[in-house]
């Protein structure tokens, strides 16, 4: 199944079922009103949702309407928990050089993960407000999974059975805050603004052969201001999503709707480019002696699409512009 959430001004939005070709959508309200509600009642509503989805793809739902991703919020506009890993070790090793930090203990054997803000996710076409260009505005293209209820102590193999949905996301970073927050030992806070998501969340079966071993085997195509930036492949994860979920659930339960991210998609091969600016800057330092690429400016755009060799893009596209956040006394920004 494919899901999206129509932005309606409310905290949860209105749940849509989206056709396989992303051309049409229909509200799921006769069955359940929100995606979080569906995840919390998955065993109860999944069969009915599947039937309505099948009817939509067969052209048998008269009330179906054209699908407009730009009208969508994130599939989950907010969630109980957002845990982001660093499962592409190539990226982590390069970042150690960027921030001049010592190697993380057991980096090759124990996943690295931080808990980000989950109360204010951004949709695929929302402008992205940032306080100051001097903060080092950076995009980070990733994949993620959304789980049902996960018991404490779940193993990596068991964890795969708790994955309900797969998503594509942009985990924005403010690089100027990163070094200090990492050295504090308490993790990221100011360095991690609200995360953006592609409009469509998909059940694992929708990816077919591109979902295996707990990994998304698709290239993530990234453009910055309409120029190619990279197309790294998601299959190069050193830790699969089963291992990431098991790590998050080692000492606590995970609520239905918890999102677990892969970390920045990164490949060892330099010819595929990067999914974040910081990684390109580190490569420039290694190869050329200094970083030449600056970070984002207000008005810059980033576009991210995961698609296969046939051009199919199961999640849709993230296409966003960075804008200056309002200062104190100015009108509050709205997505």
- Predicted pLDDT at 206: 97
pLDDT digits (tens, 9 = 90+) for 124-156: 999 999 999 999 999 999 999 999 999 999 999
The pTM for the full model equals: 0.95
25 token code pair: 């959508």
Query: Band of the pLDDT at 274, cuts 50, 70, 90?
Result: very high
Least confident span in 50-54, 224-228, 306-310, 322-326? 306-310
Q: Is the pLDDT reported for residue 233 higher than 90?
A: yes
Q: Is the pLDDT reported for residue 75 higher than 70?
A: yes
Better-scored residue on pLDDT, 333 or 77: 77
- Predicted pLDDT at 182: 77
- Predicted pLDDT at 187: 81
Q: Average pLDDT for residues 312-319, to the nearest whole number?
A: 97
Instruction: Give the chain's mean pLDDT.
Output: 94
Q: Is the pLDDT reported for residue 333 higher than 60?
A: no
DSSP string, 219-285: EEEEEETTEEEE--BGGG-SS-HHHHHHHHTSSS-B-TT-EEE--S---S-GGGB-SBHHHHHHHHH
> What's the length of the chain?
335
Q: Is the pLDDT reported for residue 108 higher than 60?
A: yes
SS3 per-residue string spanning 213-236? CCEECCEEEEEECCEEEECCEHHH
CATH of range 82-324; options 3.40.50.740, 2.50.20.10, 3.90.850.10, 3.90.1410.10: 3.90.850.10
**What is the enclosing helix (H) or strand (E) of 211?**
strand 211-212
Q: Is the pLDDT reported for residue 80 higher than 70?
A: yes
Least confident span in 49-53, 131-135, 326-330? 326-330
Q: Is the pLDDT reported for residue 320 higher than 60?
A: yes
Q: Average pLDDT for residues 268-296, to the nearest whole number?
A: 94
Query: Band of the pLDDT at 98, cuts 50, 70, 90?
Result: low
Residues of the chain with pLDDT > 90: what percent?
A: 83
101-137: b (≥16 Cβ within 10 Å) or e: eeeeeeeeeebbbbebebeebbbbbbbbbbeeeebbb
Give the distance from CA 166 to its chain's centroid: 9
- Predicted pLDDT at 332: 58
In 82-230, which residue ranges form alpha helices assigned H by DSSP?
89-99, 156-160, 178-184
DSSP bridge partners of 175: none
Listed in order, the ranges of the chain carrying CATH 3.90.850.10 are: 82-324
Q: Which residues lie below 8 Å from residue 191, measured CB to CB, with a gap of 6+?
A: 173, 174, 175, 177, 178, 181
Q: Cβ–Cβ contacts within 10 Å for residue 183, how many?
A: 11
């Amino acid at each position: 199944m494919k899901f999206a959430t129509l932005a309606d001004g409310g905290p949860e939005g209105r749940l849509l079922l989206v056709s396989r070709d992303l051309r049409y959508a229909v509200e799921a309200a006769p069955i359940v009103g929100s995606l979080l509600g569906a995840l919390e009642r998955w065993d109860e509503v999944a069969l009915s949702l599947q039937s309505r989805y099948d009817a939509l793809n067969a052209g048998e739902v008269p009330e179906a309407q054209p699908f407009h991703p730009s009208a969508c919020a994130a599939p989950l506009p907010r969630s109980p928990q957002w845990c982001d890993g660093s499962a592409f070790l190539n990226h982590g090793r390069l970042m150690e050089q960027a921030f001049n930090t010592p190697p993380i203990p057991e980096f090759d054997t124990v996943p690295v993960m931080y808990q980000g803000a989950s109360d204010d996710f951004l949709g695929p076409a929302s402008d992205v407000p940032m306080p100051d260009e001097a903060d080092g505005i950076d995009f980070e293209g990733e994949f993620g999974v959304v789980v049902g209820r996960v018991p404490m102590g779940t193993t990596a193999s068991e964890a795969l059975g708790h994955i309900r949905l797969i998503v594509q996301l942009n985990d924005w970073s403010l690089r100027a805050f990163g070094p200090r927050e990492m050295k504090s030992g308490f993790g990221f806070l100011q360095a991690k603004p609200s995360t953006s998501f592609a409009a469509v969340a998909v059940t694992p079966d929708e990816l077919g052969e591109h979902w295996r071993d707990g990994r998304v085997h698709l290239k993530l195509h990234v453009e910055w201001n309409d120029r190619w930036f990279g197309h790294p492949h998601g299959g190069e994860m050193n830790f699969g999503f089963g291992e990431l979920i098991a790590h998050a659930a080692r000492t606590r339960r995970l609520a239905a709707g918890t999102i677990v991210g892969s970390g920045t998609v990164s490949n060892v091969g330099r010819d595929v480019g990067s999914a974040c600016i910081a990684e390109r800057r580190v490569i420039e330092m290694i190869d050329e002696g200094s970083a030449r690429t600056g970070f984002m400016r207000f008005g810059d755009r980033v576009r991210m699409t995961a698609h296969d060799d046939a051009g199919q893009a199961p999640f849709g596209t993230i296409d966003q512009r960075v804008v200056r956040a309002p200062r104190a006394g100015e009108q509050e920004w709205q997505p």
